[in-house]
Amino acid sequence: MARPAAARRLSRRGRTSAAAVAGFAALIALTSCSLIPGLPLGSGGSGAAAPALPDAPAGTIEGFGEQEPVWENCGDGMQCADVFAPLNWDEPAGETITLRLVKHPATGTEKLGTLFVNPGGPGASGSEYIMNSVDHAVQPALQDAYDVIGWDPRGVGDSTPVTCFDAAGMDEYLFGADPATADLEPGSDAWIEAALASEAEFGAACVENTGELIGHVGTDSTVRDLDMLRAIAGDPKLNYLGFSYGTYIGARYADAYPDRVGRLVLDGAMDPGASMGDVVREQTLGFEQALRAYTSDCLQRRSCPLTGSVDAAMAQIGALLDRVAESPLTGSDGRTLDSGVALTAIITPLYSQDMWGYLDDLFSSLAVDDADLALSLADFYYDRQDGQYLSNSTEAFSAINCLDYPSRTLDREQMRADAAELAELAPTIGRFQGYGDVGCAAWPVSGSGERGPVTGAGAAPILVVGTTGDPATPYRWAESLATQLESGVLVTYEGEGHTASTTSTCVAEVVDEYFLTGAVPASDPRCTA
């Protein structure tokens, strides 16, 4: 069964590498009538051959931290290794999984330790991020002082992965059209039943193809993995740079192991206490505001495909989405472009102001019922190229996210009320973002995560970076996290886009100084450049 157009999960992607953005930008001229060739999507892992494993650890928590990785050269000065982790941290003598690491060794002689980096998600590959984008992720001064390590969290990429559908199955799940559900009213009982059936089919495939790991990929397990990696690196305290969802990992680490916190930067902060409903509401509002910011910018250009006031232009975008919802388009490859896929295409360039120009071409193409550019943008979001999925990020996102929130009974009337609230808060995109509870309601493993504030009591100072115009992790979340953490220090970037330390020179200087010396600003610098 094709996936009904339930809410797209906006928090899935954490960050897009500079190389990917640059390559994507260079190819936009080729997209007027055809799919983007050679789109530089993430591989979902380092792409290196599996390195040799260390000796199997003793089946104790301490034994896992005493592993000696077999580091192997894997190109461009990088080193790769796999290490063991327990499938279930409560049963360290039981079954094991493996985690993939990529290290950029410190280039200087006075090494400060290891800096672990997570690019977000959940479901993003840290090994790929460091392999392909270390210069974007970490400034030269930090590369000089630290071994920089990215790893694929459990369930992701080249670590023991979550596996669900093959490529054809993923195409059907994300882009398929089912005539039997085409005439169902979104939010009706019949529509919800169809959505639940589709999500249940997806979840069943994940269980069948992943096995017991499906119940052990939550962030609590990843936090314990990270502390194991710190021990393996030989560092008494953790130095860590986390983006987007990676800030949630870092915040939970600080709460679990405050005495082991070294220097932590949490950029594009999530609020650990936010419920799933909170996340959907805040992100929907954030992307609506980012779309308004784009629209205001677009209307100042002669080439803008929108006209009139900002409100009028937003109404034009809403009308395009309504038209696609009423009459889905078909791409040149036969895939269906419904309102959900079209919204994914719109959201993708909103992660970075440097990518806003793609929206000009997108709205021009949708105006003439050309689906191909929208499908290409959705492909970029889903790491799809030439009919193949180059990562398991969508599957990993679902598996991790559904474990990270407590299970709750599906309340259809509450879902309808929430959907109505989204439509009112975000008049352009909100009506297409309702009913996101369906995915986890049908998930085959009960959620066990607890959402609540953190304190990190006794931890060393922690930098929390927030961007005022961040659509994916709203600035108020950074304010909240910095307040929750007893040692939280807020650094604000007054600008647009998702995360700041790799785009703002001012923020980068604060981050570098902190990682190199431990010094934090006496007050929020309120960076503007």
Dihedral sign, CA of 388, 391, 396, 401?
Answer: negative
* 49 band by pLDDT with thresholds 50, 70 and 90: confident
- The lowest-confidence range among 2-6, 198-202, 302-306 is 2-6
CATH number at residue 403: 3.40.50.1820
Task: Determine the average pLDDT of the residues in 56-77.
Answer: 94
Q: Is 149 helix (H, G, I), strand (E, B) or coil?
A: strand
* 9 band by pLDDT with thresholds 50, 70 and 90: very low
Residue 40 has pLDDT above 90, yes or no: no
Q: Which of 298, 429, 290 is nearest to 358 (CA)?
A: 298
Residue 79: which residues within 8 A CB-CB, separation 6 or more? Answer: 71, 72, 73, 102, 103, 105
Count of structural domains, the chain: 1
Residue 37 has pLDDT above 50, yes or no: no
Residue 6 has pLDDT above 70, yes or no: no
Q: Where do runs of H (alpha helix) occur along 121-244?
A: 126-137, 140-145, 167-175, 189-210, 219-233
Helix/strand/coil (H, E, C) string of 425-494?
HCCCCHHHCCCCHHHHHCCCCCCCCCCCCCCCCCCCCEEEEEEEECCCCCHHHHHHHHHHCCCEEEEEEE
Q: Which of 75, 128, 78 is nearest to 103 (CA)?
A: 78
Task: Determine the average pLDDT of the residues in 26-34.
Answer: 29
Bridge partner residues of 82 (DSSP): 100
pLDDT in tens, 469-479: 999 999 999 99
Range of the domain at 93: 1-31+42-529
- The lowest-confidence range among 103-117, 284-298, 437-451, 503-517 is 437-451
Residue 182's pLDDT is 74
Residue 258's pLDDT is 98
Residue 36 forms part of a structural domain:
no
Residue 27 has pLDDT above 80, yes or no: no
Tokens of 385: 């190229």
Residue 331's pLDDT is 96
Active site residues: 244, 470, 498
Residue 301: which residues within 8 A CB-CB, separation 6 or more? Answer: 360
Residue 84's pLDDT is 98
* 448 band by pLDDT with thresholds 50, 70 and 90: confident
Quickly tell me which residue has 């604060």 as its tokens: 510
Higher pLDDT, 55 or 40: 55
Residue 31 has pLDDT above 60, yes or no: no
Task: Determine the average pLDDT of the residues in 278-304.
Answer: 96
* 4 band by pLDDT with thresholds 50, 70 and 90: very low
Residue 268's pLDDT is 98
Task: Determine the average pLDDT of the residues in 195-205.
Answer: 95
Give the N- to C-terminal CA distance of the chain in Å, as an integer: 48
Determine how many CB atoms are found less than 10 A away from the CB of residue 136: 18
- The lowest-confidence range among 41-45, 81-85, 199-203, 306-310 is 41-45
Residue 34's pLDDT is 24
d(CA 220, CA 154): 11
Residue 183's pLDDT is 82
Q: What is the mean pLDDT of the chain?
A: 91
- The share of the chain scoring above pLDDT 70, in percent, equals 91
Contact present, 10 and 472 (Cβ < 8 Å): yes
Residue 180's pLDDT is 66
Residue 522's pLDDT is 97
Residue 432 has pLDDT above 60, yes or no: yes
Residue 10's pLDDT is 37
Residue 46's pLDDT is 64
* 47 band by pLDDT with thresholds 50, 70 and 90: low
Determine how many CB atoms are found less than 10 A away from the CB of residue 83: 25
* 181 band by pLDDT with thresholds 50, 70 and 90: confident
Residue 324's pLDDT is 96
Residue 59 forms part of a structural domain:
yes
d(CA 426, CA 251): 29
Residue 37 forms part of a structural domain:
no
Q: Which of 341, 369, 354 is nearest to 294 (CA)?
A: 354
* 50 band by pLDDT with thresholds 50, 70 and 90: confident
- The lowest-confidence range among 26-35, 203-212, 336-345 is 26-35
Side-chain-side CA neighbours of residue 83 (13 Å)? 25
Q: Which of 165, 151, 162 is nearest to 116 (CA)?
A: 151
pLDDT in tens, 134-162: 999 999 999 999 999 999 999 999 999 99
d(CA 229, CA 231): 5
- The lowest-confidence range among 19-33, 114-128, 323-337 is 19-33
pLDDT in tens, 395-420: 999 999 999 999 888 899 999 999 99
Residue 36's pLDDT is 25
